[in-house]
Amino acid sequence: MKRLNTGVAWTGCVLLSCGFALAQGGRPGKVVENNYIVTLKAGAAPAAVAGRHGMSPRFEYSAVANGFAAALPAEALARLLNDADVDQVIEDREVEAIGKPSGGGTVLPAQVVPEGVQRIGASGLAYTGAGIGVAVVDSGIDLANKDLLIGSKSYSAVSRSAADDNGHGTHVAGIIGAVNNTIGVVGVAPQARVYAVKVLDRYGSGTDSSIIAGLDWVAKNAAAVSPVIRVVNMSLGRPGTLNDNPVLRQSVQKLVQMGITVVVAAGNDATKEVSQQVPATYPEVIAVASTSAKSGLSAYPGFGGIGVDTASFFTTDGALIPAADGTGYVGVTISAPGEDQEDVSSTGSITSIGILSLKVGGGTVRMSGTSMAAPHVAGVAALLQQKFAGALTSEGVRSKIANSASNLSAPYDSPTSTYTYDGDREGVLSAAGALAAP
């Protein structure tokens, strides 16, 4: 059983019989026909190389790579490959947001502290993320939203404006940094400033090349904006392998070398491991799986319900294992709430009640997914960078988050048949624990 209930919740599967892969829309990972990412030898000019092959670059890269992305007729590919200035030619691939709507929008009568923020203990802390910039590499952000501190600069790889025309990016930004005021919700780091880096279109779709363009912008502008960008959140992905696009991985590596922590969603396919998802498979990122923030309801005879800290029925997971190229470890670093709860009906169907966060145009909406789990971690990374005045390395952030997890018996096994225990109970994110970690 698989259907999207757009009225109140995301209904995913039948209890103990979840025989489908809940992927990110069914399309990501596909090659974009005749579209390529091209890297060049040192000193070669992207515009000049593209021009002599009759290409009009969609993007030019200078900070994370020397190269460009463009469409190229099949008959011209051989000539490009034989160009002495060309280093690599890589097929472009489709990428999508890793989150699903799970409730209609509403304007709340008063501010709410969402269940995810409560579960990780991020409410009322001494640190708020003040003075820390977080780049939300997503579908944009509602730039007029009164419940967010918006960065003075923004970037869009897919349209003229970085304004969110999908809703996913605004929801993610709200989990990270919704302001502690009288409206909407409160984020994990309510004084962090969020920067809109739009790499996904109105349908929540993008490409490897658009993501690289967004990361290139971050690399060029991170230290030039105020506050400085210390954290990147990418709640997006596609099926893939560690080095199927070396330029995309190189872009992430560049940011990490700059001292920027990159947090990504593990994926919404319970039949896959993190090692099969890009960019979650990169050892340099903090990959985040999804759990329930509180216990759900059950009307199913003889079944007591799905408890707090249970692995979400949709989550991708994966124990930490050495990367295939020996450069680090691949796997889930931490789990965090990607939904409020999972309710079970009298017929055994499981409904995900999503995380409450901000909606484009004001008000709130619910969404479920590892897309929602990742920004909880990005928010805690912002708190840590505030405490340590931006001096923590990405590995320093990872260590404090991983070593301070709460409930090391979690994530508890999902009762659905697609879930298989990955051999690692990494625990659930703890904001206070991470701040107190040595």
Tens digit of each residue's pLDDT (9 = 90 or more) over 386-406: 999 999 999 999 999 999 999
Task: Give residue 11's pLDDT.
Answer: 60
416, exposed or middle or buried, with CB in 10 Å at 0-12, 13-18, 19+? buried
| Residue 289: both structure tokens together | 């799986």
376 included as an active-site residue: no
Catalytic, out of 154, 210, 357, 371: 371
Q: What is the Cα–Cα distance from 172 to 162, expressed in whole angstroms?
A: 15
Task: Give residue 279's pLDDT.
Answer: 98
Nearest to 372 by CA among 10, 19, 111, 30: 10
| Residue 375: both structure tokens together | 């920004």
204 pLDDT above the threshold of 50: yes
Task: Give residue 315's pLDDT.
Answer: 97
Nearest to 376 by CA among 120, 126, 96: 120
Catalytic, out of 92, 138, 164, 269: 138
Radius of gyration in angstroms for the set of CA atoms belonging to the chain, rounded to a whole number: 21
Residue 375: is the preceding peptide bond cis (ω within 30°)?
Answer: no
Residue 246 · residue 278 · CB < 8 Å:
no
Q: Considering only 84-98, 101-115, 223-237, 312-326, which range has the smallest mean pLDDT?
A: 101-115
- The residue with tokens 């699903």 is 100
Q: Confidence band (pLDDT; 50, 70, 90) for 20?
A: very low
426 pLDDT above the threshold of 90: yes
104 pLDDT above the threshold of 80: no
- Number of other residues whose CB lies within 10 A of the CB of residue 264: 32
Q: What is the Cα–Cα distance from 247 to 251, expressed in whole angstroms?
A: 6
Residues shown for the chain: 438
State the average pLDDT over residues 61-82.
93
- Which of residues 231 and 21 earns the better pLDDT score? 231
Pairing of strands 332-339, 286-292: parallel
Q: Confidence band (pLDDT; 50, 70, 90) for 13?
A: low
Q: Which H or E run includes 54?
A: none
221 pLDDT above the threshold of 60: yes
Q: What is the Cα–Cα distance from 285 to 263, expressed in whole angstroms?
A: 6
6 pLDDT above the threshold of 50: no
25 pLDDT above the threshold of 70: no
Task: Give residue 102's pLDDT.
Answer: 79
Q: What is the Cα–Cα distance from 4 to 56, expressed in whole angstroms?
A: 40
269 included as an active-site residue: no
340 included as an active-site residue: no
State the average pLDDT over residues 313-324.
95
Nearest to 258 by CA among 115, 394, 404, 431: 394
State the average pLDDT over residues 186-200.
98
Task: Give residue 342's pLDDT.
Answer: 97
Question: For all residues of the chain together, what is the average pLDDT?
Answer: 92
Catalytic, out of 154, 168, 205, 368: 168
Residues of the chain with pLDDT > 70, as a percent, come to 94
Residue ranges in 68-125 assigned as alpha helix (H): 74-81, 115-119
Task: Give residue 7's pLDDT.
Answer: 27
- Which of residues 193 and 106 earns the better pLDDT score? 193
Q: Confidence band (pLDDT; 50, 70, 90) for 373?
A: very high
